[in-house]
Amino acid sequence: MNSPRKRLLATLLAAASIGTASAQIVDHNAVKCPAVPKEEMKPQMELQRKLTSEGWKVRQVKTFNGCYEVYGFDPTGRRVEMFFDPKTFEKVGEIAQPS
């Protein structure tokens, strides 16, 4: 299993067997949220407070391709890199993280 393609396939299969919330496993550069006027975007700190109240440990929130990108740990303790719509906070994608 030395080729990058085989490693990616193994990672995706492992993530699929564990299951994800409603977000899909995506390639980092393929993540894109619809354009939202700045005045309609909710503050990043509001997303961080929401996730923290749900049991997440948020390490960083930043903007990437129009989405809020969150690094941290979900309520089960799993390390995550997840993307959220800045207007609705809907999960739009997740990067598979090594165990």
Mean pLDDT of 4-27: 51
Q: Is the pTM of this model over 0.95?
A: no
Can you give the residue range of the structural domain that contains 46?
4-95
Total number of domains constituting the chain: 1
Please give the pLDDT value at position 75: 95
**Secondary structure (DSSP) of 28-70:** GGG-------GGGSPPHHHHHHHHHHTT-EEEEEEEETTEEEE
Residue 12: which residues within 8 A CB-CB, separation 6 or more?
25, 96
Please give the pLDDT value at position 41: 96
pLDDT in tens, 21-69: 445 666 667 788 889 999 999 999 999 999 999 999 999 999 999 999 9
Q: 63 or 9: whose pLDDT is higher?
A: 63
Q: pLDDT-derived band of residue 88, with 50, 70 and 90 as boundaries?
A: very high
Please give the pLDDT value at position 26: 66
Q: Reply yes or no on whether the pLDDT at 1 is more than 90.
A: no
